[in-house]
Structure 1
């Protein structure tokens, strides 16, 4: 039987061995503490690297006024819990994927429409245009302020079997984000959609809970999804973007000079990393190949078949998203 002293020793040992946050910034007395919680790796991922770079600049340029701590890999909160944590003041910055906001607004379903954007140049043209900026304010009535979009890139499909034409997905179970559009997309392919937290995807693939998934190159590489899949098909079918946001109460409560400086730094870092997102994904794609993973490029005919299979999905969500938003997104193709 363990004594009380033994239990105390074991508890202390656990505390010592528990991994520390990747960004363990020591804040000074009197500094404004800004906590940024996210769910991805601190390195090799656009969001993780952006958060780390943002903290470095805030801690250097706002030293004595503000201190930022970053908590990656769901160390503090996952994307399902972080929204409430923002309103409670337990974190100040989060950047969930846009599909996480369906409980607050359906407008962000726009970004989930399959094959809406031709490339990342079109994404940027829309996001920095009037309609994209209008969407940043879509949740102000429930207490959230959008600070800007952080782009990961376009998504690819993978599965336990090669995926070259839509019929290859029939009967397979795919992990999707909590997005009604994503569910409809998989069902249009004749598959089954299963909503799972990001942190559970690798285990679900490894154990056969799901047969496949859809994600960006950086996620597929950093989370090792390619290791438990037959290959990755380069479909570029859907955008994965995050909305960096905070609570309106917290932002409005900052001293004006502090708020202006913080928002200026945030905007500069965000723009810089959005410009680098394509390069990060290109490197991740190459690393998958170098690690022995299979990447399948579709022929133009094969890709057109995927587009045709997913066309009906648009009609299901057109009214809730708004035709004006869809038109603005389509107009961005070729305008980047």
Structure 2
């Protein structure tokens, strides 16, 4: 192309502001993937609702400069593929249990460490403590940006008797949800079966699982009351607290201008109150669901909770701290938040 031709084209573009406006007006389209049942902003699993609320509010605040496509029920990719895809920049946003990536990123298992977090107050306090700052730094180094802190308590559904004390798990096939949770189950005498929460119902129906730990919200959404006889709820406290955040690929985040990055972080933070309230409501709803199906519902007492926590401290906590220097540092910082 000659110099004269290039100059002519530049003059033409400069003389056509509508062309420039059209180029800048193209919205950024981001994909959100999760494994939970789909619904709407107003109804359904709160994790899907949160994703839709996040998308709607971000689009409003950016005046349509960012738009979203939401893929529930693992329709875009399998649940355990989401965090690697985020880290590699192949997926934009997901709401996903961090423990799914624990095999490759052992540090993230601090978010499902048995007995380390025992209340929503303690879990959400992490965000503004040194543990939260260090965890965010570590995630960013792995290519991940945490948009919303979402903690969920969980319970244990069982095809037989309720699992209250560690010795109740002996001889059973149990799903724990993370390597550290599996560690204490093995110590209690259970046979551990690893799988994502989406597979629990089918495994229990086929007798491949006797019991399973998962969040209260998943106990409800996957209708585990239909394949279980009893449930141990989180209403009275629990050793099973999971960090399941709304998380973004750093590669996708860094491509956005700073004002849009700020909006994403602000909307994510604003939705944390909704997440906490919804999770607490699901903790209570689990009991009613199982009782309505003719099942047995029990809560952990202080003594039972202490037994699990003591078992975890002597096994899972110790093993985690020995994995690498990052794990040791995170564990030490998290222990400072225990009241």
Aligned partners of 1:257, 1:308: CA distance in 2, in Å? 46
Q: Equivalent of 1:33, from 24, 29, 35?
A: 29
Aligned partners of 1:199, 1:83: CA distance in 2, in Å? 16
The one-character-per-residue Cα deviations of 1:105-151 (angstroms, maximum 9, x if unpaired) are: 32222232221123111111123312112202213334323334222
Q: Which residue of 2 aligns with 1:315?
A: 318
TM-score, L = length of structure 2 = 0.80
Pairing of 1:28-67 with structure 2 (within 5 A):
30-42=26-38, 43-67=43-67
Aligned residue for 1:155, secondary structure, equals strand
Contact (CA 8 Å) 2:174, 2:211: kept in 1 or not?
yes
Change (3 A) 1:206 1:225: same
Matched, 1:225 2:224: yes
Change (3 A) 1:230 1:136: same
Change (3 A) 1:300 1:51: same
Matched, 1:192 2:191: yes
Change (3 A) 1:83 1:311: closer
Aligned residue for 1:41, secondary structure, equals coil
Matched, 1:91 2:91: yes
Aligned partners of 2:179, 2:209: CA distance in 1, in Å? 18
Matched, 1:270 2:275: no
Q: Mind listing any 5+ residue stretches in structure 2 that lack a counterpart?
A: 1-24
Q: Mind listing any 5+ residue stretches in structure 1 that lack a counterpart?
A: 1-28
Alignment RMSD (CA, Å) = 2.4
Contact (CA 8 Å) 1:137, 1:146: kept in 2 or not?
no
Pairing of 1:11-26 with structure 2 (within 5 A):
none
Q: Which residue of 2 aligns with 1:158?
A: 157
Aligned residue for 1:73, secondary structure, equals coil
Change (3 A) 1:44 1:246: same
Change (3 A) 1:291 1:55: farther
Aligned partners of 1:47, 1:255: CA distance in 2, in Å? 27
Aligned residue for 2:336, secondary structure, equals helix
